[in-house]
Amino acid sequence: MTVQGFINRKAKQLAYFVRAFWDKRIPYREVDLYFWDTMEEWHQMQDRNNQPFSAKERVFWHLLHQVHFWSEQKLLEDPFLRSELQTCLDYLEGDGQYPLDCVGVRP
């Protein structure tokens, strides 16, 4: 699998998990498990460091880091953070502009 294929597949999943968490359809621990599963899959990928970055990949890693870094409460209640993350989700789903403050890098 290519890096781009990995990112395309995982970005759809990430968007689902974040939205389901915000809608209270899944608990935060499911989002956290998704994070760790994604990290494990990433580290099993062959030749990942020899492939170029894309804008979508940068947004993906940024959003993944944010949902892992911030507390469950902050992710649910901070309107500024939610707005920032919503912009990332919209971009990953093909419905928005590239978020200018996005600093995602590969782990």
pLDDT digits (tens, 9 = 90+) for 5-38: 999 999 999 999 999 999 999 999 999 999 999 9
Amino acid occupying residue 69: F
Over residues 74-78, the mean pLDDT reads 98
Query: What is the per-residue pLDDT for 53?
Result: 84
Q: Domain residue spans in the chain?
A: 3-92
pLDDT digits (tens, 9 = 90+) for 43-73: 998 777 777 788 999 999 999 999 999 999 9
- Cβ atoms of 65 and 104 within 8 Å: the answer is yes
- Cβ atoms of 82 and 18 within 8 Å: the answer is no
pLDDT digits (tens, 9 = 90+) for 80-90: 999 999 999 99
Burial class (CB in 10 A: 0-12, 13-18, 19+), 89: buried
